[in-house]
A and B are shown apart, each in its own frame.
Chain A
Amino acid sequence: MENKDLVQYIYGIADNALILGQRLSELCGHGPNLETDIALTNISLDLFGQTRSYFQYAAQLLGEDKTEDDVAFLRTERQYKNVLLVEQPNTNFAYTIARQFLFDVFHLSLLENLQNSSDATLNAIAKKSIKEVSYHLRFSGDWVKRLGDGTEISKQKIQEAVNALWRYTDELFHLTEADKVAVEGRIGVDTSQLKDAYYEKVEELLQEATLTIPEEKYFQKGGKQGVHTEHMGYLLADMQYMQRAYPNMKW
């Protein structure tokens, strides 16, 4: 597999961690109470840690003295390959939790497979990240249950969030060209194979949370090709501000 293809494959995984980490970091200082604030920030820190491992590897593959920060901050919107789900805003705590849960179930099964990658670096990152993501899933799954089987208000809010985000779940299982090359090279994971188990697991927990499984039939896609929702531009404007306003400086 050529370096440029491998880099594209890495973006497809790492950009999810970066963008979701960024979204969660926006909440630091604004959580429903201190304990939950601290917990969400821990998840954000885990995701940024993973991002850095992937991007340091990508930078090395790119050569030309590229750094993790070039990769993180200096691409244009179309060059980010995260799924649409993770860039959705923190509309309220229910959205934050639903987004986290719907991503965590996928993320964990992706990593469980990626730890068998023939690429030693990816395989090592996956092994380390699995422990973190298992905890994320435990946290988000528990909260889905609390909100679902909590009060009338919380049930309504989490149901609404799950319904609204459901249309972004199918994209998790689409294969890009980079994915296909990586799968052929035994480096990447064929995520299309993870789909049935994903919905089974998600639906099981939603039922336990006394929630209704959405019947959405129309799914959104595009993130993996760099065609994002309108939220993404603002997120990047914020995240890239310093690097864009003061180019070529060390911080």
Chain B
Amino acid sequence: MSEAQIKNLEEMFEQRIANDEKIEPKDWMPEKYRKTHIRQISQHAHSEIIGMLPEGNWISRAPSLRRKVALLAKVQDEAGHGLYLYSACETLGISRDELYEQLHSGKAKYSSIFNYPTITWADIGAIGWLVDGAAIINQVPLCNTSYGPYARAMIRVCKEESFHQRQGYEIMMTLAKGTPEQKEMAQDALNRWWWPSMMMFGPTDDMSTHTEQSMKWKLKRKTNDELRQQFVDQTVPQADLLGLKMPDSDLKWNEEKGRYDFGEIDWDEFWQVVKGHGPCNKERMAARVNAWEEGEWVRDAAMEYAKKQEAKKLNKAV
């Protein structure tokens, strides 16, 4: 194809997206669209899978049977969500194994929030409330994104996630209304998870590189700062209701603007964790690599068995 032809195709492509048409796997798409989507969808899938680990850390120690089954079902949902997203990504012509390879080699990124440790039971509440709360804000607009398989996966994910945040908030509520020891545990978890949750929306708009293109392709509908503001505005009243204090001395209601003003995020910490120096980056990666390597003989066995069965069937037919 000549450059002019490609340019023409690209224009038609952009026009389709502008018209709210969906792009489907076999449609022609600019190489950059494909690559950007592989990057974003796989990053999202990896985050789901790595995200199983900090919460999985408390399944065996959950304090009641009711909490245990809820947490187990939630972490299992994350595996399901990872699976839906990997599947969406595979429609772009890359295999799940290749995507794992990118994750395990450190080439692919995942959400930094999961590099923080879960050290008390209240952390499970805080993750559900804050981390899932932030994730929902990020994810809901994606149900309408331009790439069909991604949008469909996200619709399923959002539908299933509706119980996750409630689960977390209920844990926090129980702790906040419990003994002084429990309330302290809840406050401590809020203190540790608040700022990392704020960082989940990514760098400030003036530092963010992908925004404009992502907006056009409907990978994004609002900027990082707008989403972060939305998160603060909806979360502060929830904290008030719990009787917990936000760990931000600059946080206050701005009557004029009709929103909360908040303090400065520690961007040094953000970049540290992104670059692999968070408290648990190495542990998370080691756990994933280990599960994958330990599982190899199992996956191989299943393939070998399938082949033998297939051969048997053929022999019988002959």
Contact = CB atoms under 8 A, between A and B. Distances in A.
Interface of A: 22, 25-26, 28-38, 41-42, 44-45, 48-49, 51-52, 55, 68-69, 72-73, 92-93, 145-147, 149-151, 153-154, 157, 238-239, 241-243, 246, 249-251
B254 interface: no
B301 A51 contact: no
Given A30-B287, A246-B182, A251 B295 contact: no
B181 A246 contact: yes
Interface centre among B80, B83, B291, B298 (most CB of A within 10 A): B298
Contact of B305 (A32, A149, A243): A149
Contacts of A55: 65
Contacts of B178: 249-250
A42 B76 contact: yes
Contact of A45 (B72, B83, B181, B182): B72
A32 B299 contact: yes
B298 A26 contact: no
Contact of A68 (B62, B65, B73): B65
Contact of A28 (B63, B72, B297, B302): B72
B304 interface: yes
B121 A251 contact: yes
A38 B291 contact: no
10 contacts: A26-B59, A26-B60, A36-B298, A51-B65, A52-B66, A153-B300, A238-B61, A242-B62, A251-B63, A251-B64
B68 A34 contact: no
A73 B68 CA distance: 12
A68 B59 CA distance: 17
A153 B301 contact: yes
Interface in B264-318: 287, 290-291, 294-302, 304-305, 308
Nearest to A24: B72
Given A34-B83, A55-B65, 8 more contacts: A25-B68, A28-B79, A44-B72, A68-B65, A149-B305, A154-B300, A249-B179, A249-B181
A45 B68 CA distance: 9
Nearest to B55: A29
Interface of A is mostly: helix
Contacts of B63: 69, 73, 242-243, 246, 251
B295 A34 contact: no
Contacts of B80: 38
B65 A69 contact: yes
B86 interface: yes
A239 B61 contact: yes
Contact of A157 (B53, B296, B297): B297
A151 B297 contact: yes
Interface centre among B61, B73, B297, B301 (most CB of A within 10 A): B301
Interface of B: 49, 52-53, 56, 59-69, 72-73, 75-76, 79-80, 82-83, 86, 121, 171, 174-175, 178-179, 181-182, 287, 290-291, 294-302, 304-305, 308
Contacts of B182: 246, 249
Given A150-B302, A150-B305, A246-B182, A37 B67 contact: no
Interface centre among A42, A246, A251 (most CB of B within 10 A): A251
Interface centre among A34, A72, A146, A243 (most CB of B within 10 A): A34
A93 B76 contact: no
Contacts of B79: 28-29, 34, 37-38, 41
A41 B73 CA distance: 8
A147 B299 contact: no
B60 A239 contact: yes
Contacts of A238: 60-61
A72 B301 contact: no
Contacts of A44: 72
B60 A33 contact: no
Contacts of A31: 291, 295
A241 B61 CA distance: 6
B46 to A, nearest CB: 12
Given A34-B49, A35-B83, A150 B301 contact: yes
B68 A242 contact: no
Contacts of B59: 25-26, 28
Nearest to A150: B301
Interface centre among A37, A73, A149, A246 (most CB of B within 10 A): A37
A101 B60 CA distance: 22
B301 A154 contact: yes
A33 B182 CA distance: 37
A146 B301 contact: yes
A151 B304 contact: yes
A55 B66 CA distance: 12
A242 B121 contact: yes
Nearest to A92: B294
B312 to A, nearest CB: 10
Nearest to B297: A153
A29 B299 contact: no
Nearest to A40: B76
B295 A32 contact: yes
